[in-house]
Structure formats: structure tokens, C-alpha cells
Amino acid sequence: MSTRIIIAIDGPAASGKSSTAIRVAERLGLQHVDSGALYRAATAARLREPGERDADRWVEADVLAAARRLVRLVPSHRSFLPQLDGQAADQEIRSGDVTARVSAVARMPGVRAWVNEQVKATATTHSIVVDGRDIGTTVFPEADLKIFLVADPWERARRRLRQRLSHEPAEREIAEEVDRLMHRDHRDAQQSGQASDAVVLDTTHLTQAEQVDRIVALANAVTHRGDGTSGP
Ligand code: CDP
Ligand code: CDP
């Protein structure tokens, strides 16, 4: 086993990947990397350039040029976070405009190579918990632990809305969000994968704390198995 630890957390939209990954990273003293945030940042970068509304005509070279010019993956306390033009841009990368366009951007092979290069670079200096769609299958097939998070679509939609809104969502709002999530899952299917050696965790009836506890326990079992090392 290498001295650096890599934990991969994959799963569909709003299955709880990022919020779980950061808590797991905190508990284990690792660094969190949100690969989806990089796809979102590339999309937001392209949206800052001319022709931004005409997403059907976006070409890979322009998306990549905007991403290379504007996006930097910067280490903060527990996470590597993408900055846009030197500024934190969490709200911008999670806007509806970005969410509607990100799946198409993520299908561009050059953009995938650009994201993967940066994600892999983090593992040369840190032990990491990485979340995304293809981390256990493509980016880090050698990961020490692979988790595949799933949850019932209705519950995923309810959680995503509660995260975004200040009130408990109505049934109609949840139904509309289910449609959006299913549409995105469908569009992402080509670039998503469940590794054959991933542990599948259905979080529909788990609390956030329970799902974090389970992953921490699995990680401890894996990392204390051999020489007891657990990198920085
Ligand atoms: O948080 P949410 O599940 O809504 O999405 P995200 O993790 O922020 O990812 C945004 C988008 O990036 C996804 O809808 C995929 O199109 C893409 N993505 C990908 O293709 N591969 C990854 N490893 C991570 C994200
Ligand atoms: O990264 P991904 O899109 O997969 O999901 P997320 O943004 O980490 O999680 C979506 C929301 O579900 C967050 O507000 C979580 O706190 C919440 N949640 C959860 O992930 N698991 C639970 N058991 C309960 C709530």
C-alpha cells in the first residue's frame, strides 16, 4: 500500500458525495477534492466569455481556453477549491446556468483530461478524498477505498432543495427537481461508472452523520490493515 491514501466517492447527482467527502476528510485528516466543482468551474469560465448564451455552439477549444485562463485549483483548509480569476466562486459554479450546461461540457474529452490532470496532481502531495462520477473507475482505479453513494431520487431531490432553499420544499417543487436530477443523471451516464470493487452505500434512510461514520470505519479498516501509514 502506498503511503498516501486515496478514497474515491462516486454516485449520481445530490447523492451526498461532496458533503460526505469533506466530513470524511475532516475526520481522517485528509484533503477533499471535488472533481465536479472543476467541471462546474470550466463551465462558469466559458459563461464569462462572449457567446456565453449559445451553449449549443460551444466548442471544446474555447471551453478549455477559458478554463485554463480563469480556473485555478487552490488548497484551502480541508479542500482543494477552484477559484475563478483569483476569486472564490462557489455560488457562481452552483448556479442554475452552470448546472444546465455542465453535463455537455463534461462530455468534452479535452475538458475531462484537464480535470483529471489537476485531480491527479493533488494526490502527488496529499492523501485525499475525491468525489465525482468516474473517480473509482477512471481517475484512481487504484484507490484504497471506493464508495458508491446512492439514494432514492425523491430523497435526493428533497435534500438538494433543502440545501438551496430556506424552507421545506413542497411536493410539486420536489417532483420538478426529481425531473431535473434524472435528466442530468441520464446526460451524465456516459461519463459515470460504478467500480466493481466499490462499496455501495444507500443513504436514503441514513443521516449524514451515519453515512460519514460508515465510510470512516471502512477507511480505518483499509488504512490500518498493513503498515499503519496514513500520509499527510
Ligand atoms: O453535486 P452534483 O452531484 O449536482 O454535481 P457535481 O458533482 O458538482 O458535478 C457536476 C457535473 O460535473 C456532473 O453533472 C457531471 O456532468 C460532471 N462530472 C463528471 O462528469 N465527472 C466527475 N468526476 C464529476 C462531475
Ligand atoms: O455532492 P452531491 O451532489 O452528491 O451531494 P451533496 O451536495 O453532498 O448533498 C446534497 C445534500 O444532501 C446536502 O445538503 C447534504 O447535507 C444532504 N444530506 C445527505 O447528503 N445525506 C443525508 N443522509 C442527509 C442529507
- Reported as a single tens digit per residue, the pLDDT across 88-127 is 999 999 999 999 999 999 999 999 999 999 999 999 999 9
Which range among 78-87, 102-111, 218-227 shows the weakest confidence by mean pLDDT?
218-227
* Contact 13 CB / ligand 1 (< 6 Å): yes
- pLDDT value of position 55: 85
In ligand 1, the atom with minimum distance to the C-alpha of 15 is: 3
Residue 166, pLDDT above cutoff 90: no
Nearest ligand 2 atom to alpha carbon 15: 4
The atom of ligand 2 lying closest to the CA of 131 is 1
Q: Is residue 106 within 6 Å of ligand 1 at its C-beta? A: yes
- 16 CB under 6 A from ligand 1? no
Q: In the Cβ-directed half-sphere of 134, how many Cα atoms lie within 13 Å?
A: 16
What is the model's pLDDT at position 56? 85
Ligand 1 within 6 A of CB of 188: yes
Q: In this model, does residue 224 exceed pLDDT 90? A: no
Q: What count of other Cβ atoms lies within 10 Å of the Cβ of residue 4?
A: 17
Q: Looking at residue 1, what is its pLDDT?
A: 42
Q: Which residues pair with 131 in a beta bridge?
A: 9, 34
**Phi and psi angles of residue 164, each rounded to the nearest 5 degrees, phi first:** -95, -35
**Mean of the per-residue pLDDT values of the chain:** 93
CA 61 to chain centre: 23
Counting ligands in written order, which one lies closest to the CA of residue 34?
A: 1
The pLDDT, as a whole number, for residue 225 is: 58
Are the CB atoms for 153 and 178 separated by under 8 Å? yes
DSSP symbol at 138: I
The CA distance from 220 to 228, in Å, is 10
Rounded to the nearest angstrom, the distance between the alpha carbon of 203 and the centre of ligand 2 is: 9
Nearest ligand by distance to the CA of 159:
2
The whole model's pTM is what? 0.95
